[in-house]
Amino acid sequence: MSFDEKLNHLVEEALREDVGDGDHSALSCIPADARGKAVLKIKQDGVLAGMDVARKIFAYKEPVSVFTAFKHDGEEMKYGEKAFEVEASVHTILQCERLVLNCMQRMSGIATLTKVYTDKLKGYKTKLLDTRKTTPNFRLLEKEAVRIGGGVNHRFGLYDMIMLKDNHIDYCGSIEQAIERAAAYVLDKKPGLKIEVETRNLDEVKRVVAMAKGKVFRIMLDNFNPGQIAEALQFTGTDFETEASGGINLDNIEEYAKTGVDYVSVGALIHQAKSLDLSLKAVPLP
């Protein structure tokens, strides 16, 4: 499914959850044919995210709605600014209001925090990855917000990459067996699917390097400190991408970047982000 197809599914389910058998607040006091206009007001500084999503939400509900953007995804936003204006049926505006705000507030919070992290990486080769530590059924937009904030999306789910983590390895019996079985599976079932393997110590790194060239494309260095990362990179060479994961935060991310590791993954981008304050207010039509 494309991004737009996934978004349409998300919007459909979210509106069904919220509207149920009818928006009785609006139905009770607003004529069905009433037209209206509303403006999104920014009430907190940060990085704006979700503009394109908001436009698509209104268009999904009412294709002839008129959406006028004053700012764009990824731009810095300041208190008191206006992000967009929409003209549509009043019922459409009221039914979409909370969904638009929930998406944009959450996405802007994630994009803002991601930008703080990526600013720390300026001047280094290291790139910032997100994780699967996401909100069920909202991963699509949380990862989009990371991208808007300047981060790089890791795998979206269990289906678009093989990641052999500690539990896979332990259930399999050894890191070598897990890699061999995964590589055979790819050849037989999913040609082209990439394999990443998690390592827990330098010995495992050496074992992967010794037998997985051409099979594994990235080695995750899990809970390695910067000194251990630097030592591991002496063995990985250019045959493998490298990813540092675990315990990385704003206070130490530069120390990891200084090692030359290709990627750092930070679950906090999403699960520690705070939603930003936005509001959608009615504008009287002339």
Say what percent of the chain tops pLDDT 70: 100
Going from the C-alpha of 49 to that of each of 13, 121, 278, the distances in angstroms are 21, 21, 11
Which amino acid is present at 50? G
Residue recorded with tokens 């009818």: 22
Is 180 tagged catalytic?
no
Give the model's confidence band at 244: pLDDT under 50 very low, under 70 low, under 90 confident, else very high: very high
Q: Do 259 and 223 share a structural domain?
A: yes
Q: Do 160 and 106 share a structural domain?
A: no
Q: Do 127 and 261 share a structural domain?
A: yes
Runs of H (alpha helix) within 174-252: 175-189, 202-211, 226-236
Would you state the pLDDT for residue 286?
Answer: 72
Question: Rounded distance, CA 250 to CA 128, Å?
Answer: 12
Q: Do 261 and 190 share a structural domain?
A: yes
Helices (H), strands (E): how many in the chain? 11, 12
Q: Do 31 and 86 share a structural domain?
A: yes
248-266 per-position pLDDT tens digit = 999 999 999 999 999 999 9
For residue 3, pLDDT beyond 80? yes
For residue 285, pLDDT beyond 80? no
Q: Do 253 and 146 share a structural domain?
A: yes
Is 133 tagged catalytic?
yes
Q: Do 122 and 72 share a structural domain?
A: no
Q: Do 197 and 127 share a structural domain?
A: yes
For residue 188, pLDDT beyond 80? yes
Among 165, 181, 200, 215, the one annotated catalytic: 165
Q: Do 125 and 84 share a structural domain?
A: no
Among 6, 71, 133, 200, the one annotated catalytic: 133
Sign, CA torsion 135/132/270/98? negative
88-140 per-position pLDDT tens digit = 999 999 999 999 999 999 999 999 999 999 999 999 999 999 999 999 999 99
CATH number at residue 232: 3.20.20.70
Question: Rounded distance, CA 131 to CA 155, Å?
Answer: 8
Would you state the pLDDT for residue 123?
Answer: 97
Sign, CA torsion 114/119/122/126? negative
10-55 per-position pLDDT tens digit = 999 999 999 999 999 999 999 999 999 999 999 999 999 999 999 9
Is 262 tagged catalytic?
no
Average pLDDT, the chain: 97
Mean pLDDT of 52-69: 98
Among 62, 87, 198, 204, the one annotated catalytic: 198
Q: Do 253 and 144 share a structural domain?
A: yes
Is 203 tagged catalytic?
no
Going from the C-alpha of 279 to that of each of 41, 43, 84, 282, the distances in angstroms are 5, 7, 11, 10
Going from the C-alpha of 2 to that of each of 32, 68, 136, 165, the distances in angstroms are 33, 25, 19, 28
CATH number at residue 93: 3.90.1170.20
Is 98 tagged catalytic?
yes
Among 87, 144, 222, 243, the one annotated catalytic: 222
Domain region containing 192: 118-271
Mean pLDDT of 280-285: 88
237-269 exposure pattern, b = at least 16 Cβ within 10 A, e = fewer: eeebbbbbbbebeeeebeebbebebbbbbbbbb
Q: Do 212 and 79 share a structural domain?
A: no
Q: Do 158 and 124 share a structural domain?
A: yes
Would you state the pLDDT for residue 284?
Answer: 76
Task: Count up the domains in the chain and report the number.
Answer: 2
Among 35, 43, 78, 98, the one annotated catalytic: 98
Sign, CA torsion 106/109/115/120? negative
